[in-house]
Amino acid sequence: MFSISLAEYDEEIIYEVSSAVLSKGGHDFEVTWFYRLDEESWEGKGTLKIYGKDYLSLELPFMEVLIKKSIMSIKYPEEDQVLIDYFNRRDSSNIFAVLLSEFDGFIVEEISMENKEIFLTLIPEALIGFEVLNITVSEKNFIPKKIHAISGEEMEVSVNILSFSPLSDREALISKELDANEIIDLRQ
């Protein structure tokens, strides 16, 4: 393993990772998702779809997330409930905002490389949100293989990308809506 000079490559590598994730054609990702908040944790296998900076869908057994431009909807199947709110792209404690904002608000603390994988450690420019993002990407295509975000002892998100392919149906993602027995609109 060797470390790369930060000053020379950090912005370029973050740009490449963002460009790969937010590709104009979009991606379907098969993922395992782990989320911990205080003493509660959830883990599941599902699909993540990203189309540019404006559309994201995550389907897991315990939760479904849909982001369409400035609106975020979250469905909790056990409660048969959907929460709708504005999506804050500058929220550095929201993993979706971090992904869709090209890692805005984070700087590279460390870069290393081993076995055709690039390991990045990002830290926030401000003292809010995630304290550290550890990202492993393929040297070949800059698609993340793993993203691990930590916010103190309270919150942790870990995403493993098992496979990816071009987005199969952009129109379905653009027109998708989440539905449930109870809809709570927090925008009012």
Q: What is the mean pLDDT of residues 128-141?
A: 92
pLDDT at 4 over 80: no
The residue ranges of DSSP E strands in 38-188, in sequence order, are 40-51, 55-59, 64-68, 71-76, 81-86, 106-114, 117-124, 132-138, 144-151, 155-166, 182-185
Residues of the chain with pLDDT > 70, as a percent, come to 95
Number of domains in the chain: 1
Give the pLDDT score at 129.
83
Cβ-based neighbour number of residue 123 at 10 Å: 13
* pLDDT 10s digits, 37-92: 999 999 999 999 999 999 999 999 999 999 999 999 999 999 999 999 999 988 88
Closest CA to 90 of 105, 72, 75, 76: 105
Average the pLDDT over 135-161 and give the result.
Answer: 95
User: Which domain covers residue 42, as residue numbers?
Assistant: 2-185
Enter the pTM of the model.
Answer: 0.90
The percent helix, strand, coil of the chain (3-state, each to 5) is 15, 50, 35
pLDDT tens string 64-77: 999 999 999 999 99
d(CA 80, CA 176): 17
106: CATH: 2.50.20.10
Handedness of CA 104, 50, 32, 83 (dihedral sign): positive
Helix locations, 102-184, DSSP H: 170-175
pLDDT over 90 at 136, yes or no: yes
